[in-house]
């Protein structure tokens, strides 16, 4: 299972969640048992989980936006609590998963089967950072070979977005991060240019304009702060689109210049979980990985046994970290 910044936000309290809760949502595992109504998944299969289960039949699902499934609440609904504390009160699970555990119970719609040729320590990445980062570029932004892309934030999601832009054939990919070491990593994953971001967004804008005087056709925000989302919009050329991926604290607001929006035909959009299409995306990601077009191995910069999870959370602050992956050492995948 991978450690995601969302887990860290809930851990620190910067994003709200009902307590008590079992965190963890970026996970691959083996199906131990299935219920009688399950038709798509079999015992023994290797699966990857998603926080966006979808019904496959509502208007949003059939129009290719399953992350906005109209029945997402009923897809997650349960007749009985999934987990109980010793006093009988219910315990929440992040995203209906709660992966920081030896075993967890999920709805059929929350998992996709992956082939055994995908190593489990990289398969888990498909569940969150790859779905979000690559998904945002392919489905959310719909980047193509004519496009120039700026990616703000070079953590797991940002690096995945850079790889997505490379897969999509973008002609320029500008990685932006405050930490120079992250930018060196970004080049290995397909960034053609790098910009060290400044605390003054105007400075960052000037640097991007020195590379592309008109601005970029797509800016992808993978940080989760209103300042970086506003920066994403400011980097756009006319007709450009800013796609915001980062989850921001409840109540956050964005300020964008109306003139730039209207006179320049610019676009600002969200792409929750990268607007991914999980069930078919998992096959797409697997094929790109197996054919060396999507580098998952190098994204796992640290592997630890599950018992050292807190060390893993601390390692997330290191400049060299892209993803920390925890292994259940007593279980063979």
Which range in 4-12, 93-101, 117-125, 161-169 contacts Zn ion by CB under 5 A? 4-12
Question: What 3-state class would DSSP assign to 223?
Answer: coil
CB 233 within 8 A of CB 253: no
Chain mean position to CA 207: 27
55 makes contact with Zn ion (CB under 5 A): yes
Tell me how far CA of residue 307 lies from CA of 15, 235, 310, 325, in angstroms: 25, 43, 8, 12
256 makes contact with Zn ion (CB under 5 A): no
Tell me the site size for Zn ion, rule CB under 5 A: 9
Among 1, 3, 4, 248, binds Zn ion (CB under 5 A): 4
In the complex, least distance from residue 131 CB atom to Zn ion, rounded to whole angstroms = 9
Report how many helices (DSSP H) and strands (DSSP E) the chain contains, helices first: 12, 14
In the complex, least distance from residue 94 CB atom to Zn ion, rounded to whole angstroms = 9
Query: Binding pattern to Zn ion, positions 66-105, x when CB under 5 A?
Result: ---x-x----------------------------------
DSSP states along 34-96: --TT--S--TT-EEEE-S----S-SHHHHTT-GGG-TTHHHHH--SS-SEE-TTS-EEEEGGG
In the complex, least distance from residue 58 CB atom to Zn ion, rounded to whole angstroms = 3
**Rounded Cα distance, 250 and 232, in Å:** 20
Using the minimum distance from each CB to Zn ion, give the nearer residue, 5 or 46: 5
61 makes contact with Zn ion (CB under 5 A): yes
Q: What is the sign of the dihedral through the CA atoms of 292, 317, 20 and 272?
A: negative
CB 286 within 8 A of CB 114: yes
In the complex, least distance from residue 9 CB atom to Zn ion, rounded to whole angstroms = 10
Which range in 126-134, 160-168, 201-209, 307-315 contacts Zn ion by CB under 5 A? 126-134
6 makes contact with Zn ion (CB under 5 A): yes
Using the minimum distance from each CB to Zn ion, give the nearer residue, 47 or 69: 69
Using the minimum distance from each CB to Zn ion, give the nearer residue, 23 or 195: 23
The contact set with Zn ion (CB under 5 A) reads: 4, 6, 54-55, 58, 61, 69, 71, 128
């Amino acid at each position: 299972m991978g450690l995601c910044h969302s887990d860290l936000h809930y851990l620190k309290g910067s994003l709200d969640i009902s307590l008590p809760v079992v965190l963890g949502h970026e996970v691959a595992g083996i199906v131990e048992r299935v219920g009688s109504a399950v038709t798509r998944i079999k015992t023994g299969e290797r699966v990857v989980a998603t926080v966006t289960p979808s019904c496959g039949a509502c208007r949003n699902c059939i129009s290719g936006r399953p992350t906005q499934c109209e029945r997402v609440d009923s897809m997650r609904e349960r007749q009985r609590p999934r987990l109980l504390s010793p006093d009988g009160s219910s315990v929440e699970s992040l995203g209906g998963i709660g992966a920081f555990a030896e075993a967890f119970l999920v709805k059929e719609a929350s998992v996709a089967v992956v082939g055994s040729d995908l190593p489990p320590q990289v398969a888990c990445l498909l569940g969150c950072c790859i779905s979000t980062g690559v998904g945002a570029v392919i489905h959310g932004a719909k980047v193509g070979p004519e496009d120039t892309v700026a990616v703000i934030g070079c953590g797991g999601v940002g690096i995945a977005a850079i790889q997505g832009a490379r897969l999509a054939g973008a002609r320029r990919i500008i990685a932006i991060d405050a930490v120079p070491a992250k930018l060196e990593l970004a080049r290995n994953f397909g960034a053609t240019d790098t910009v060290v971001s400044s605390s003054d967004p105007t400075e960052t804008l000037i640097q991007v304009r020195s590379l592309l005087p008109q601005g970029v056709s797509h800016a992808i925000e993978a940080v989760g702060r209103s300042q970086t989302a506003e920066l994403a919009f400011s980097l756009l050329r006319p007709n450009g689109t800013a796609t915001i991926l980062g989850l921001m604290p409840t109540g956050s607001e964005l300020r964008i210049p109306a003139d730039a929006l209207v006179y320049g035909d610019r676009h600002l959009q969200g792409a929750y979980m990268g607007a991914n299409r999980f069930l078919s995306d998992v096959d797409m990601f697997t094929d790109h990985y197996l054919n060396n077009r999507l580098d998952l191995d190098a994204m796992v910069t640290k592997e630890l046994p599950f018992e050292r999870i807190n060390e893993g959370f601390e390692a997330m602050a290191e400049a060299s970290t892209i993803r920390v992956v925890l292994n259940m050492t007593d279980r063979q995948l």
